[in-house]
Amino acid sequence: MSKHVAYTDFIDCEEDVRIRAKDQARVVALREKKGWLFRLLLGLVLIGPGVLVMIADNDAGGVITYAQTGAAYGIGFFIPALLLSGLIAYVVQEMTVRLGAVTHRGHAEMIWGRYGAFWGWFSLVDLVLANILTLITEFIGVTLGLGVFGVPHVVSAAAAIAVDVVVLLVLRYYAWERVSLWIALGNLVFIPLALMSHPHWSTVVSAFSTWRVQGGFTPAFLFIVLANFGTTIAPWMLFFQQSAVVDKGLTVRDIRHGRVDTAIGTVAMVAVAIALVILTGTLVHGMRGASNLDIQQILSVLGQRLGPVGEDLFALGLVEAGMIAAIALTASTSWAMGEAFRWPKSINMPARRAWRFYLPGLLSAVIAAAVVLIPHAPLGFLNLTVQVVASIFMPAAILFLLLLLNDAAIMGEYTNRKWQNAAAFSIVGLLVALSGVYGLTVAMPHLL
Amino acid sequence: MKKDTLSLVARTDRMAPVELTKAQVKGWVRVVFWGLRVYIVVMIVLVAIGFARGQI
């Protein structure tokens, strides 16, 4: 290949490809410089999609699930289980980095182009539906969290929509990513909260050696296990990270940094999840009726045990978790729609010229916010439906990922290695088994 | 300036997306797709039963 590619070559490329040149040029310029400072700067510039996807995965629904898990089961079983689910999330998300960097195409685009319209529509409808339902849980988190400070639900939902709209429409990709990373940093608030609970560290350490379940493997326990796995690995994550890698303009030379980015995100995600389990496992577990507390009751207990500062910090964490996930889910929907219908699809594009790209994501956020504000809306039912849709879709989404990662015609030397396939097929097997058991318990609740 | 930016990127990395052609579905991939169809149908039936019985 000629070292100098003619400028006109880029004129012929799609508009959203050309528009990423500025971000790519920043990376190329840093890579050409020598010294540890420039290497550090390069690392900081390339951090983004992996950290964002993992932190956004600790969304409002996730925070609620982990808090309820700790309250119901303490810290015995779930800390090692969360480490395992973090490892699973890393293995899956690393594949999206490679796929995006090699193909420069998003996940929806790849499924549509490689396996046809049927599977393309199947994936798109599932993703958009699951994203809207998940967004509802994010707005529940935001309104509940701000409710602690006396903010009316209408105001908090409108404010969340406003932040989402401004971040997506006003900022271009790099600025959007940086602002989102700053918001994501707020997710770490749960770590000092866990320390404030003064946990028995010997109990935390012994969880790894004993790994036992209080009360045994009951149906309720199985639901919690499924909810935790469902929270840690979700279909939107595959679509989001691959599209973000493409929109950032990462190439095969950036794969190593993409892996580091994903690993940092995984460590942060697992640390926050474990912190939540430790927090409620220490302060709430063992109380009368702890296994049936909702998030408002848990907040109230935290307020009694930690004081108003503890309650406020938890509420702020819930707001942040809902907000960062709303930003990520909105972008994920827009990217997927743009990829499926071949619209110009980049956060680098101004809103006036790419309104079709921005509209579906923002519309999904507005629908979700409106649903949360409907009096007596069946929010619990919707929350469960999110898990049902995700559990049906997740094995299919990973299978497509696996097929694409083993497609030598498009991946070349970057196809999966044997251990990666073994790990990924084990994950698909685990998810199918968990989803199957979940489906059986939903249809035949007295089976277990 | 814009031209400089583009040519700097062009020196090192290709940005163009890979060409996409529909894959030939055969062998074990065909089996995987059928397995996926069966899984989806079974899950939809189970979930429909769950909805009908008010379990969801």
- Classified by CATH at the fold level, domain A7-443 comes out as Amino acid/polyamine transporter I (1.20.1740)
Collect all residues of chain A within an 8 Å Cβ-Cβ radius of residue B47: 388, 392, 439, 442-443
Is residue A438 within 8 Å of residue A227, measured between CB atoms? no
Confidence of residue A6 (pLDDT cuts 50, 70, 90): very low
Percent composition of chain B: helix, strand, coil (DSSP 3-state, to 5): 65, 0, 35
**Which of A10, A385, A396 is the closest to B40 by Cβ?**
A396
pLDDT at A12 over 60: no
| C-alpha span between B49 and A193 (Å, rounded) | 42
Burial class (CB within 10 angstroms; exposed 0-12, middle 13-18, buried 19+) of B36: middle
> Is the minimum CB–CB distance between B40 and chain A shorter than 8 Å?
yes
Distances (CA, A) of A216 to A69, A414, A447: 15, 43, 16
Amino acid at A186: G
Closest chain B residue by Cα to residue A250: B15
Q: Tell me whether residues A18 and B40 touch, CB distance under 8 A.
A: no
> Is the minimum CB–CB distance between B32 and chain A shorter than 8 Å?
yes
Angle at which helices A49-57 and A78-103 pack, to 10 degrees?
A: 140
**What H or E segment, with its residue span, contains residue A32?**
helix A21-32
Predicted confidence at residue A377, as pLDDT, reads 76
Q: Tell me whether residues B14 and A1 touch, CB distance under 8 A.
A: yes
Min distance A414 CA to chain B CA atoms (Å): 13
| C-alpha span between A128 and A135 (Å, rounded) | 10
The structure tokens 């707001």 sit at A319
Collect all residues of chain A within an 8 Å Cβ-Cβ radius of residue B12: 28, 31, 253
The structure tokens 């109230």 sit at A300
pLDDT per residue over A54-77, tens digit each? Answer: 999 999 988 988 898 889 888 877
**Which of B9, B32, B45 is the closest to A24 by Cβ?**
B9
pLDDT per residue over A267-302, tens digit each? Answer: 999 999 999 999 999 999 888 888 788 888 999 999
Output the six-digit token pair for A41.
């700067």
Q: Give the residue from A176, A127, A141 showing the smallest Cα distance to A327.
A: A176
> Is the minimum CB–CB distance between B9 and chain A shorter than 8 Å?
yes
DSSP A243-257: HHHHHHT--GGGHHH
Is residue A226 within 8 Å of residue A391, measured between CB atoms? yes
Collect all residues of chain B within an 8 Å Cβ-Cβ radius of residue A105: 17-18, 20
DSSP A367-381: HHHHHHHSTT--HHH
Q: Tell me whether residues A21 and B16 touch, CB distance under 8 A.
A: no
Collect all residues of chain B within an 8 Å Cβ-Cβ radius of residue A114: 20-23
Q: Tell me whether residues A396 and B22 touch, CB distance under 8 A.
A: no
Predicted confidence at residue A211, as pLDDT, reads 67
Q: Give the count of Cβ contacts less than 8 A between chain A and B.
A: 126
pLDDT per residue over B2-40, tens digit each? Answer: 455 555 555 555 677 888 888 888 888 899 899 889 988
Q: Tell me whether residues B23 and A115 touch, CB distance under 8 A.
A: yes
Min distance A407 CA to chain B CA atoms (Å): 9
Confidence of residue A124 (pLDDT cuts 50, 70, 90): very high
- In this prediction the ipTM stands at 0.80
pLDDT per residue over A223-258, tens digit each? Answer: 677 777 777 788 899 999 999 999 998 999 999 999
Q: Tell me whether residues A29 and B8 touch, CB distance under 8 A.
A: yes
> Is the minimum CB–CB distance between B23 and chain A shorter than 8 Å?
yes
